Homo-oligomer: A and B are copies of this chain.
């Protein structure tokens, strides 16, 4: 299968053969992580960044008193901690949600990329900027939407992100988060997540069987969430020189 990072970056515009070779080369070192395993521990200072090749992962922040906030969900093709390249210490850790195949990209190699491949550098920078845009939308969700809207919004977002990498069939996709995870992602209690999901189900908007979620009425779900996918910048074009 094609390297999911290359596929993702190519959505932003064509890459040269040389650039693809570089990407292929620097993502050659891989490892497998089991569900719930730490990929990048909170507070660590890794010498490489972790690229998700397959599986789902999440980023999370812990308060000293133990409360937890999930700050991002990562899918294949996502760099879970490209920011550690320049930020050095990881404020928020990364853990596997499902079994994950991960490529370790040495910071040294990223440095070489920034020295010799301006276009690739901009493409990688772009991915971190999109991360930021998603963060801001999550902030809006956390700050200004109620539980029902938050969950609806998240499901719309995840669907579109998974769809862009071919992991959606008939509006069904894998959702490997427990209700406790969802509650930590959306600032709710597990009890309330449970009740809100039941509400969405009984309104006929979604169906969920185990770890697979189906959106039955995407239009209505989008309306509830006031969802507009532009912020994902999935096809954002990046000019070459």
Stretch among A190-198, A201-209, A228-236 lining the B interface: A228-236
Tell whether, in the assembled complex, residue A136 and residue B92 are in contact, meaning their CB atoms are under 8 Å apart: yes
Q: Which of A157-203 contact B (CB under 8 A)?
A: 184-187
With a CB–CB cut-off of 8 A, which chain B residues contact A226? 63-65
Tell whether, in the assembled complex, residue A87 and residue B129 are in contact, meaning their CB atoms are under 8 Å apart: yes
Chain A interface mostly: helix
Residue among A122, A130, A226, A230 having the largest count of chain B Cβ atoms under 10 Å:
A122
Stretch among A1-9, A22-30, A31-39, A113-121 lining the B interface: A113-121
CB nearest to A132 among chain B residues:
B132
A73 to B135, CA, bound (A): 15
CB nearest to A114 among chain B residues:
B118
Tell whether A144 pairs with B68 under 8 Å between CB atoms, given A122-B114, A128-B129, A135-B139.
Answer: yes
Return the contact of A87 from the options B65, B135, B236 (Cβ within 8 A).
Answer: B236
A144 to B186, CA, bound (A): 9
With a CB–CB cut-off of 8 A, which chain B residues contact A131? 132
Task: Write out, one digit per residue, whether chain A residues 68-104 have a CB within 8 A of any chain B CB (1) or not (0).
Answer: 1101100000000001001111011000000000000
Binding site for B on A (CB under 8 A): 59, 61, 63-65, 67-69, 71-72, 83, 86-89, 91-92, 111, 114-115, 118, 121-122, 125-126, 128-133, 135-140, 142-145, 184-187, 226, 228, 230-231, 233, 236, 238, 241
Task: Please give 16 more A-B residue pairs, beta carbons under 8 A apart, in addition to A91-B137, A125-B125.
Answer: A61-B137, A63-B226, A64-B226, A86-B129, A86-B236, A86-B238, A87-B236, A88-B236, A91-B231, A115-B118, A125-B128, A128-B128, A128-B129, A142-B143, A143-B185, A143-B186
10 closest A-B pairs by CB: A143-B187, A69-B140, A142-B142, A135-B135, A67-B144, A71-B136, A83-B129, A86-B126, A132-B132, A69-B143
Can you name 7 A-B residue pairings with CB atoms under 8 Å?
Answer: A67-B140, A69-B144, A83-B129, A91-B136, A128-B132, A135-B136, A142-B187
